[in-house]
Amino acid sequence: MGLKTPSRDSRPREAVPAAASNTGAAQAPMREFSRSLPMALLRAREAVMRHFRPSLRADGVTEQQWRILRALSSIDIIEVTDLARVAYLLGPSLSRILRDLEARRLIERKTVKSDLRRGTISITAKGLKLIEAVAPHSEAIYAEMTKRYGAQKLSDLQDMLNLLESSLLAMPVHGGNNDADDSGDDK
Amino acid sequence: MGLKTPSRDSRPREAVPAAASNTGAAQAPMREFSRSLPMALLRAREAVMRHFRPSLRADGVTEQQWRILRALSSIDIIEVTDLARVAYLLGPSLSRILRDLEARRLIERKTVKSDLRRGTISITAKGLKLIEAVAPHSEAIYAEMTKRYGAQKLSDLQDMLNLLESSLLAMPVHGGNNDADDSGDDK
DNA sequence: CCAAAATGATTAACATGTTAAGTTAAATGG
DNA sequence: CCATTTAACTTAACATGTTAATCATTTTGG
């Protein structure tokens, strides 16, 4: 992720130069687009991450790697599948990242003896040291953001986002294999 | 993007099995993590996009390609740099996507005669047809989401997101080359 | 106990995110 | 008018997002 408003220039200059005045059929502008919900969420998230990326990058970790390490730092040991849920990453991404983090000795993995398919992950001392090095700065940034936006607003926003998520998770996906929730009465 | 809650299973099962009870030093849980603002924004956006992806995919376009085509459909012609801003994509991504969309005859490009560095993009009839094929369904989904979450809440959420964005854009980035806004008195 | 279905995790393949380097053309400053 | 600098893209290179396929291991149902 991360878009820093491509080619940011100082002076304001009209966002879309030769807009409007179509040549042929004047189709409906279609929900302004730039103000659609997905776009608003994307822009907001980028505005947030923009502040974290530099320090993370300085310490040699990506945003996703950081999510994993941070999750591990407060859990001690966890299975891969559960880690995927906690760090909100898809399996394939997680597999690649774990491979890399293991090579860098930031994490360790073991196979569950009772089920050889499963693997457990834990953070190493080196990994913890990295966390401890980055966390303070990260927390400071978070605090500054909270101060600027307002603690109450921030809290409200989070509630609204959570509600949005749960509302939409309850909404059936049209053309998708909704293996989601179907009040389990398995088989 | 898109994470569909890795391995979604029907029955609720504790999110993080062997959590807590660390072996060694009990470090602070650190802002719950899973409830951090970046995570909330990510999850919310995914909850939204999850509903659009299937139909887009069915019509052979990715989310980003769709953003571009949709932007073009209401603008008729636009320069690459401006398109990057409107579709909120970084230059390199845009270059690759435009190359692909051009090969598929969904867009056309011309060089600006007065400045050979610049290029202008416009959507083709074929591209418009694609838009018209997908848009209705897309709008229907958007309407359903609005209905479920509530039009007023949605509007409020957007306002809050926009405010968050502007608040954070005004906040200086710590370790970054802030070529951003510095009250222009160029040179 | 065994063949078939289900699971957990990884690999494959392709598109995009992201930062750093080019490339070509235009604007600038002698 | 010309060497620098700047601007607008494009490429390169590497990490992740995403969906499909593959693998090994377990669980199921006979």
pLDDT computed for residue B35 by the predictor: 80
pLDDT higher than threshold 90 for residue A18 = no
pLDDT higher than threshold 90 for residue A104 = yes
Q: In order of start, what are the domains of chain B with their CATH numbers? A: 37-166 (1.10.10.10)
pLDDT higher than threshold 60 for residue B80 = yes
The bases of strand C with some atom under 7 A from any protein CB are 7-13, 15-20, 24-27, 29
- B149 CA: distance to closest CA in chain A (Å): 6
> Cβ atoms within 10 A of the Cβ of A87, count?
25
**ipTM associated with this complex:** 0.84
Pick the closest to residue A102 from A79, A126, A73 (CA basis).
A126
- B104 CA: distance to closest CA in chain A (Å): 22
pLDDT higher than threshold 50 for residue B20 = no
pLDDT higher than threshold 90 for residue A32 = no
pLDDT computed for residue A22 by the predictor: 32
Q: Is B133 on the interface with A (CB under 8 A)?
A: no
> Cβ atoms within 10 A of the Cβ of A113, count?
7
pLDDT digits (tens, 9 = 90+) for B94-136: 999 999 999 999 999 999 999 999 999 999 999 999 999 999 9
Percent of chain A with pLDDT over 90: 70
Residue B167's closest chain A neighbor by CA? A149
Mean pLDDT of the B10-30 span: 36
pLDDT computed for residue A71 by the predictor: 95
CB A87 within 8 A of CB A71: yes
pLDDT computed for residue A35 by the predictor: 80
pLDDT higher than threshold 90 for residue B34 = no
The answer to whether B93 CB sits below 7 Å from nucleic acid chain C is: yes
CA–C1' A117–D25 (A): 6
CB A119 within 8 A of CB A109: yes
Write down the residue that tokens 């007065």 correspond to. B114
CB A64 within 8 A of CB A97: yes
Question: Is the torsion defined by CA of B79, B81, B87, B90 positive or negative?
Answer: positive
Which of residues 158 through 177 in chain B touch A, CB cutoff 8 A? 158, 160-165, 167-171, 173-176
pLDDT higher than threshold 70 for residue B166 = yes
pLDDT computed for residue B173 by the predictor: 87
- The strand C neighbours among B residues 48-67, by Cβ under 7 Å, are 62, 64-65
Mean pLDDT of the A98-122 span: 97
Q: A169 contacts in B (CB within 8 Å)?
A: 5, 47
pLDDT higher than threshold 50 for residue A111 = yes
The bases of strand D with some atom under 7 A from any protein CB are 7-13, 15-20, 24-27, 29
pLDDT computed for residue A177 by the predictor: 55
pLDDT computed for residue B14 by the predictor: 35
Mean pLDDT of the B17-37 span: 50
**Among the ranges given (A31-45, A119-133, B13-27), the one the predictor scored with the smallest mean pLDDT:** B13-27
- Greater confidence, A5 or A63? A63
- Greater confidence, A2 or A22? A2
CA–C1' A85–C19 (A): 29
pLDDT higher than threshold 90 for residue A69 = yes
CA–C1' B14–C17 (A): 33
